């Protein structure tokens, strides 16, 4: 069935104002997300915050069910958070590491994750090693296998790096983790919402996700998936009255399920908006979204690559909606500024965001143009023409 681009754009008010190729930063929300979020805020103002939450119980509950459905999980396996980083941190620091334990990760790991690894090396006496890439630039699964021993307690991988169009072979890595009984944490921040993700197919035990990127949810939203089979082994680093119960003057009981990772307070309007955003993505169909995102990105990459002085940097056997490039003798930040003047949004990824990877590739910074299904072929055309004019 043909993709209904007209409807996608009509239901995305931002498309009338900007050419938005910064979906890997924060995508344009749809009208239903906007309506639900604003309506909720209005109810808070009209009847009070707690009262609005009671009234909207079903809509708030729906966000858990929607997130669970999106990734093939159960409702009890979802904790809502305010970002992917907060989901990831809570998961990582709940793991029962002992000095000498090893963590295997990828070269293109996101800076927030790697900074935590470095902190955990100091704090907990564990070691963290980045597995080499294969000839396609993605994590080398054979090299991962070679690094395994009984001290490896976690495989922690970024599915789609922040500064590359590649998709790491998450399910192949999951197979290795399962074969060896090693916990597997997947940073799905950039992949969630642009491609189908199923935690059973991938075989991960923990997964972190954000709301504002490819899911098109409100800012300040995210979620953590924790497999029911392991949750009882995990004690969050910090607890509160919503994640545990104060059972006697000297005791507390941690809540069952993923709920142990949640705070009492959250931006409820944004939580409702996230649920609507996930339902909306499911309605379009993740397969259809993925196909369209890839087609647009592939077209954009191919056309940029023909321009003199433009270097496209994406690697990987499977490429996603993130398109990265540089222009000879031009600063990526200056390109971003020039594009902004034409009402075109892109972002710039700095070397420090994925330090191991971009340092190895000799790149200080790169332009990141990230497309979504509501972007049009005309926008790709206009983008390429604008870049051509800048050369
Ligand atoms: C791969 C990856 N992981 C994690 C994050 C952090 O996401 P958040 O800002 O929602 O915490 C980002 C943000 O760009 C990212 O690209």
Ligand 1 lined by 168 (C-beta under 6 Å): no
Ligand 1 lined by 85 (C-beta under 6 Å): yes
Q: What is the DSSP letter of 323?
A: E
Residue 40 pLDDT: 98
Residues with pLDDT less than 70, the chain? none
Ligand 1 lined by 164 (C-beta under 6 Å): no
Percentage helix, strand, coil for the chain under 3-state DSSP, each rounded to 5: 45, 20, 35
Ligand 1 lined by 176 (C-beta under 6 Å): no
Mutate to test the pocket of ligand 1, among 25, 87, 162 (most ligand atoms within 8 A of CB): 162
| 87 CA: nearest ligand 1 atom | 11
Ligand 1 lined by 21 (C-beta under 6 Å): no
Angle at 220 between CA 216 and CA 226, to 5 degrees: 85
For residue 164, the CA-to-ligand 1 centroid distance in Å is 13
What gap in Å lies between CA 40 and CA 5, rounded to an integer? 28
**Residues near 261 by Cβ (< 8 Å), separated by ≥ 6?**
79, 81, 87, 90, 91, 94, 224, 226, 236, 243
Check: CB of residue 214 under 8 Å from CB of residue 372.
yes
Residue 143 pLDDT: 98
Residue 193 pLDDT: 98
Tokens of 190: 């950039």
Mutate to test the pocket of ligand 1, among 26, 84, 164, 214 (most ligand atoms within 8 A of CB): 84
Residue located nearest, by CA, to atom 3 of ligand 1: 189
Which residue reads 């908006």 in tokens? Answer: 273
Residue 308 pLDDT: 96
Mutate to test the pocket of ligand 1, among 26, 81, 82, 85 (most ligand atoms within 8 A of CB): 85
Residue 272 pLDDT: 98
Tokens of 296: 């647009």
**Cβ contacts of 1-6, under 8 Å, gap ≥ 24:** 1/288, 3/288, 3/292, 3/373, 5/373, 5/374, 5/376
Ligand 1 lined by 83 (C-beta under 6 Å): yes
Residue located nearest, by CA, to atom 16 of ligand 1: 162
Ligand 1 lined by 163 (C-beta under 6 Å): no
Residue 112 pLDDT: 98
Ligand 1 lined by 187 (C-beta under 6 Å): yes
Taking only the tens place, the pLDDT of each residue in 253-303 is 999 999 999 999 999 999 999 999 999 999 999 999 999 999 999 999 999
For residue 189, the CA-to-ligand 1 centroid distance in Å is 5
What gap in Å lies between CA 211 and CA 97, rounded to an integer? 29
| 211 CA: nearest ligand 1 atom | 10
For residue 43, the CA-to-ligand 1 centroid distance in Å is 31
For residue 85, the CA-to-ligand 1 centroid distance in Å is 6
Ligand 1 lined by 354 (C-beta under 6 Å): no
Ligand 1 lined by 204 (C-beta under 6 Å): no
Tokens of 287: 């397969």
**Burial class of residue 149 in the structure, from the number of CB atoms within 10 Å of its CB (0-12 exposed, 13-18 middle, 19+ buried):** exposed
Mutate to test the pocket of ligand 1, among 156, 207, 210, 320 (most ligand atoms within 8 A of CB): 210
Tokens of 25: 């930063």
Residue 391 pLDDT: 86
Residue 34 pLDDT: 98
Ligand 1 lined by 223 (C-beta under 6 Å): no
What gap in Å lies between CA 59 and CA 35, rounded to an integer? 13
For residue 216, the CA-to-ligand 1 centroid distance in Å is 14
- Within 10 Å of residue 118's Cβ, how many Cβ atoms? 10
Tokens of 375: 């972007």
| H helix intervals, 77-214 | 84-92, 111-124, 141-146, 170-179, 199-202
């Amino acid at each position: 069935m043909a993709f209904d681009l007209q409807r996608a754009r009509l239901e995305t008010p931002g498309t009338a104002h900007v050419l938005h190729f910064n979906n890997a930063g924060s995508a344009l929300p749809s009208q239903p997300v906007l309506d639900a979020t604003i309506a909720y805020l209005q109810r808070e103002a009209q009847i009070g915050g707690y009262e609005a939450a009671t009234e909207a119980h079903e809509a708030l509950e729906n966000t858990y069910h929607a997130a669970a459905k999106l990734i093939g999980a159960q409702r009890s396996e979802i904790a809502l958070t305010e970002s992917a980083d907060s989901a990831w941190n809570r998961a990582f620091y709940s793991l029962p590491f002992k000095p000498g334990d090893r963590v295997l990760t990828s070269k293109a790991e996101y800076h927030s994750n790697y900074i935590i690894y470095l902190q955990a090396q100091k704090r907990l006496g564990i070691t963290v090693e980045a597995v080499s890439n294969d000839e396609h630039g993605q994590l080398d699964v054979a090299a991962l296998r070679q690094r395994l021993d009984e001290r490896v307690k976690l495989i922690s991988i970024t599915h789609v790096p922040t500064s590359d169009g590649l998709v790491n072979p998450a399910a192949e890595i999951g197979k290795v983790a399962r074969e060896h009984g090693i916990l597997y944490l997947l940073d799905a921040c950039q992949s969630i919402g642009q491609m189908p993700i199923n935690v059973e197919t991938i075989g991960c035990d923990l997964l972190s996700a954000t709301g504002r990127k490819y899911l098109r949810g409100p800012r300040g939203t995210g979620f953590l998936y924790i497999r029911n089979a392991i949750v009882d082994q995990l004690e969050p680093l910090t607890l509160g009255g919503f994640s545990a119960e104060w059972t006697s003057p000297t005791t507390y009981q941690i809540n069952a399920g993923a709920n142990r990772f949640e705070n009492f307070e959250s931006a409820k309007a944004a939580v409702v908006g996230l649920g609507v955003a996930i339902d909306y993505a499911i309605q379009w169909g993740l397969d259809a979204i993925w196909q369209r995102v890839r087609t647009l990105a592939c077209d954009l990459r191919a056309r940029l690559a023909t321009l003199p002085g433009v270097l496209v940097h994406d690697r990987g056997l499977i490429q996603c909606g993130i398109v990265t490039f540089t222009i000879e003798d031009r600063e990526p930040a200056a390109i971003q500024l020039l594009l902004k003047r034409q009402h075109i949004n892109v972002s710039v990824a700095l070397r420090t965001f994925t330090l191991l990877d971009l340092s190895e590739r000799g790149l200080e910074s790169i332009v990141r143009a990230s497309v979504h299904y509501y972007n049009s072929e005309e926008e790709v055309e206009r983008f390429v023409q604008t870049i051509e004019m800048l050369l």
